[in-house]
Structure 1
Amino acid sequence: MRAADAEVEIVITVPNHGIGLWMVGAFVVTFVGTRVITRLIRAGRGPFRNVEVGGTHVHHQVYGIIAMLVAGAMEFAYRPDTPGAQILAALFGAGAALTLDEYALWLHLEDVYWSHEGRKSVDAAFLAVAVGLLLVAGFNPFSDSGRGAAANAAFAALLLVDLLFSVGAILKGKTATGVIGLLVPLVSVVACLRLAKPDSPWARWRYRPDSRRAERALRRYPPGRRTRMDALKDFVGGVPKQ
């Protein structure tokens, strides 16, 4: 058989050398270390102090943003192989941890680190770790597996349905399950079909104050309700000030 008559398909697979695991690992280590240091500063123990330049408190999210910018620019510019790729992944993960640890600050545009509003930073970090672990485990419905045109159209339709369920879950006040549902569709379906939280946009739009659903939502999610996850957040992030 002549070479011109043969069709040879060459598939080149480039392993990621565990880059995702490096990123998630650096995120977890940096987040835990940051929380330990900030709690020591809060208690006035150890050698650590807040960093001030010209009387201005420099929040650690500044270092995180710089780390992510540097890691992203280096990755796009040089596309390094091992070990450079792992180093940049770890740098990006560490920067993301420093930045998300003050997520509540850039959400509220004020220093709410130790307040109840500041607990949103811990929520964001927990969610980032969960999504990162799912991606490392291979949960990626957006990957291209060489499907045909018809299969791609059906796949796009399924993704659109999954996105609608995820948005519905988020509108019902279930942000974590809504985001995770983008990778594990069944999670968003269950969250979207269940009762909305009483302070969620869905409840404000769809549950009349005197309706049965509004009463059920209040019974299911009463004010001051605490779960085991709240206890874990207190352990990791510290108890918010009253």
Structure 2
Amino acid sequence: MGAWFSREIVDGGRLRMLFFLVAFILAFLFIRFSVRMIRRRARWWPGNVTPGGHHIHHVVFGLVFMCVGGVGGLMVSDSTSAAAAALAAVFGAGTALVLDEFALVLHLDDVYWTQQGRLSVQVVFVAVALCGLALLGLRPLGMAAVSEDQADDFARGAWAIAVTLLFNLSMAVITLLKGKVWTGLIGIFVSVFSFVGAVRLARPGSPWARWRYREGSRKLRRSAARERRLHQPVAQLARSIEDLIAGRPSQPRPDEPAAPPARKRE
């Protein structure tokens, strides 16, 4: 195990990414546990940070951690040192605290326990997935494979890289325009996902469907049928996982009863 860690993580230049990702996940789980205990009014939990009666959101602590980890990391020249790993962990923890209140920053309103606030959880899941792919050694848009294969011929390699980047990026953009967010984001690292997503039907309501599918057309009907058959069960499962990890929003979805209102969010 030690030899694998040294070979794949340290020598592979992914030590900081590993510590960033682990700290990111742990910080997100901790802060979600904290806010749920505060929402439940658990007496044994410390509660909100309110100096002078002013509530401080944890995005503030996240920004401080990001500044310390980011600036400190720039000062460390050895990317394989313990200091570099520790500062990457500090940066990861700060990023988790910031993204956990992403919706609050986006809306400039305390939407933490509303449906709009669920966007924060989705952004965190996306960040974990992309960091995990990077930790596995995958490079966006297939850059690594092309550069290694064409390293012996600079001119031919430059053209190959440009064409590959343009093709993969185009496929990823088309997939995202078709409303397939997860497929498009993963396709940035694994191009076959974006290629498959680009050639298949768009989701109803997506920008591609609005631009390309006429009302009442066969493609739009097939897209709606596929949405009911495939995407809705997956979306329901994803919402269940989000509720399990992050807690249910106070504002109900149309298909569920309202939850009791909370006096304080966090």
TM bucket normalised to smaller: 0.7 to 0.9
Q: SS in structure 2 opposite 1:227?
A: helix
Identity %: 39
TM-score of the pair, normalised by structure 2: 0.78
Alignment equivalent of 1:239, drawn from 228, 236, 248: 248
The reply on whether 1:59 has 2:68 as its aligned counterpart is no
Distance 2:106 2:201 in 1: 27
Residue 34 of structure 1: aligned partner: 31
Q: Is the 8 Å Cα contact of residues 76 and 83 (structure 2) preserved in structure 1?
A: no
Residue 161 of structure 1: aligned partner: 167
Q: Deviations over 1:199-226 (max 9, x none)?
A: 3222222223322223333333359764
| Structure 1 pair 113–197 and aligned structure 2 pair: CA distance change class (3 A) | farther
| Structure 1 pair 33–192 and aligned structure 2 pair: CA distance change class (3 A) | same
Distance 1:56 1:216 in 2: 53
Unmatched 5+ residue regions in structure 2?
1-9, 253-266
Distance 2:52 2:214 in 1: 52
- The one-letter code matched in structure 1 to 2:236 is T
| Structure 1 pair 151–27 and aligned structure 2 pair: CA distance change class (3 A) | same
Residue 142 of structure 1: aligned partner: 143
Q: Is the 8 Å Cα contact of residues 40 and 48 (structure 1) preserved in structure 2?
A: no
| Structure 1 pair 216–106 and aligned structure 2 pair: CA distance change class (3 A) | farther
| Structure 1 pair 197–84 and aligned structure 2 pair: CA distance change class (3 A) | same
Residue 5 of structure 1: aligned partner: none
Distance 1:204 1:184 in 2: 27
Q: SS in structure 1 opposite 2:188?
A: coil
Q: Which moved more, 1:113-122 or 1:82-91?
A: 113-122
Q: CA RMSD in A?
A: 2.4
Say which structure is richer in helix: 2
- The one-letter code matched in structure 1 to 2:40 is A
The reply on whether 1:107 has 2:106 as its aligned counterpart is yes
Q: SS in structure 2 opposite 1:182?
A: helix
Distance 2:179 2:51 in 1: 39
Distance 1:204 1:111 in 2: 32
What number of residue pairs does the alignment pair up? 230
Distance 1:214 1:237 in 2: 34
| Structure 1 pair 102–199 and aligned structure 2 pair: CA distance change class (3 A) | farther
Distance 1:31 1:202 in 2: 34
Q: Is the 8 Å Cα contact of residues 172 and 197 (structure 1) preserved in structure 2?
A: yes
Residue 206 of structure 1: aligned partner: 212
Q: Which moved more, 1:188-197 or 1:46-55?
A: 46-55
Distance 1:70 1:204 in 2: 45
The reply on whether 1:230 has 2:231 as its aligned counterpart is no
Residue 92 of structure 1: aligned partner: 91
Unmatched 5+ residue regions in structure 1?
1-12
Q: SS in structure 2 opposite 1:35?
A: helix
The CA deviation at 1:53 is 4.8
Distance 1:190 1:227 in 2: 23
| Structure 1 pair 67–215 and aligned structure 2 pair: CA distance change class (3 A) | same
Distance 2:15 2:205 in 1: 40
Q: Deviations over 1:27-85 (max 9, x none)?
A: 11111111111111111114232333555432211211221122111122343551100
Q: Deviations over 1:119-178 (max 9, x none)?
A: 211111111111111111111133454713212321221111111111111112222221
Alignment of 1:182-197 (within 5 A): 182-197=188-203
